Structure 1
Amino acid sequence: MVTAKKKPVSKVPSQREAAPPRGGRTAGASRRSVTVTPPKPRWSEQYEQAVKEYARAVEQVQRRNWAEAQPLLEELVKRYGEEADLLDITDRARTYLKICARHLHHGGTRSPQGAFLLGVFHSNRGEYDEALRMFEESLAGDPGSDKILYAIAAVRALKGDRGGAIDYLRKAVAADDRNRIYALNDPDFDSIRDEPEFIDLVEPEEAGGRQK
């Protein structure tokens, strides 16, 4: 009697044998560690710049140059006051501003340079009356300074005072002839640029040729 041969039973692999290596790695593959570098904060450069400006202002405070420190601190607060990451700097700047104001209000001395810097600060903000007052105070302490005379001329031109602008510009050019070139390219004098007196002052050769 012939009996049928039994077919060999295939071995079913165990779960451990059947499962592929985790992560799709082949057996024996080496593991590689990956280091993730956190991105540099976007405000870092701005923070560094604010620190530099703050240091310059504090240096003037430490020297008791209240008038010189005040516009630097005001500009710092104006530029960075809304930045949440810079509150530690702007809060300190506001504190120093109060100190400067207190000293200046109670008879603190203000140098001609300090008054000049305040004039520049107010002029840049379009506060021409206050700028003119500061420049005139500066000139009283440093009569004949060509840069102060030039600044007064520029502010008077911005205010629409054509006669005053030309008068002070003439004094500035007499003190330093280079102011002639500066005024020729300075947009602050656009309101008087077509005035014959201005042309005669900043472009004497052209004015002479026109008269021939």
Structure 2
Amino acid sequence: MTKARKPSSGSSARSHGTARNQSKLQKKKTLTPPPPAQRGGVELVDPRVQAQLKLYEEALALFHQQKFSRAKQELEKVLEGPSKELADRARMHVKIAEQRMRPAHEQNPRTAEEHYQRGVTMMNIGRWDDARESLDKARKAAPKADHIHYALAALDCLTGEADSALANLKVAIQLRPENRYHARNDEDFAFLQEDPRFTELLYPEQDGAGA
């Protein structure tokens, strides 16, 4: 009859040693710090990256407002930051902004939309007279285009013409009521902030409540 053999003392020692090693490995794994919080692959623990991200978000807001010249300037600052991912995103938007700006400079606008795009571009680089000429042509070609009246209102604010700004903004709101909410947060209308007519135009519910 075959007898079961008892494990030797050496074998027992090796088993205990293996158990201790496994225990140490488990402790090491437990003590490993968690990875830093990420957003879209960008580490946010670095304050320089946080500042770069803030710049990128501000530039993107300008881009979506079709303020391509200013957006491009801010995006170029993002390129200098430490995050390669944010820099790559910014570089892509810089190219798009340049493409959006180029037709206004290099082509003769013909349609209302082309005149509008040129007018907005001229506004963004501070060429008020050229901007007004283009936007007036755009309005003449498309008198019911709310965004053209809105742009003219913004231009009027930038050139200090309150009455004309309010008149153009009123038409823009009549054509598209959503423009009322856009104007509330648009820095281009800062010139009118203290004008009670501007408040009445943007917050008609307050006027009705006070009546």
Q: For 2:134 and 2:99, how far apart are their aligned partners in 1? A: 22
Equivalent pairs, count: 126
Asked if residue 150 in structure 1 is aligned to residue 183 in structure 2, the reply is no
- Give the match for residue 189 of structure 2: 189
Query: Cα offset for 1:158?
Result: 1.0
Q: How does 1:166-185 map to 2 (within 5 A)?
A: 166-185=166-185
Q: What is the Cα-based RMSD across aligned positions, in Å? A: 3.0
Deviations 1:1-30 (A, max 9, x none): xxxxxxxxxxxxxxxxxxxxxxxxxxxxxx
SS in 2 for 1:188: helix
SS in 2 for 1:126: coil
Deviations 1:102-136 (A, max 9, x none): xx3xxxx6111111110110111122221111111
Over 3 Å counting, the alpha-carbon distance change for 1:45 and 1:154 in structure 2 is same
Q: How does 1:12-27 map to 2 (within 5 A)?
A: none
Over 3 Å counting, the alpha-carbon distance change for 1:56 and 1:154 in structure 2 is closer
Over 3 Å counting, the alpha-carbon distance change for 1:50 and 1:141 in structure 2 is same
Residue 160 of structure 1 aligns with an amino acid whose one-letter code is G
Residue 183 of structure 1 aligns with an amino acid whose one-letter code is A
Query: Cα offset for 1:140?
Result: 1.0
Query: Cα offset for 1:46?
Result: 9.0
Query: Cα offset for 1:199?
Result: 0.9
Query: Cα offset for 1:148?
Result: 0.3
- Give the match for residue 132 of structure 1: 132
Q: For 1:164 and 1:136, how far apart are their aligned partners in 2? A: 13
Query: Cα offset for 1:54?
Result: 9.5
Query: Cα offset for 1:143?
Result: 1.1
Q: For 2:90 and 2:180, how far apart are their aligned partners in 1? A: 40
Residue 137 of structure 1 aligns with an amino acid whose one-letter code is K
- Give the match for residue 203 of structure 2: 203
Instruction: Please report the TM-score for the alignment, with normalisation by the length of structure 2.
Output: 0.52
How many percent identity over aligned positions? Answer: 27
Q: For 1:51 and 1:201, how far apart are their aligned partners in 2? A: 36
Q: For 2:162 and 2:176, how far apart are their aligned partners in 1? A: 21
Q: For 2:199 and 2:90, how far apart are their aligned partners in 1? A: 46
Query: Cα offset for 1:206?
Result: 1.7
Q: For 2:127 and 2:192, how far apart are their aligned partners in 1? A: 20
Q: For 1:139 and 1:186, how far apart are their aligned partners in 2? A: 21
Residue 133 of structure 1 aligns with an amino acid whose one-letter code is E
Deviations 1:36-55 (A, max 9, x none): xxxxxx9x959974995499
Moved over 2 A (4+): 44-57, 68-71
Q: For 1:165 and 1:47, how far apart are their aligned partners in 2? A: 33
Over 3 Å counting, the alpha-carbon distance change for 1:48 and 1:143 in structure 2 is same
Unaligned stretches of 5+ in structure 2? Answer: 1-83
Asked if residue 70 in structure 1 is aligned to residue 70 in structure 2, the reply is no
Higher CA-based Rg: 1
Greater helix fraction, Structure 1 or Structure 2: 2
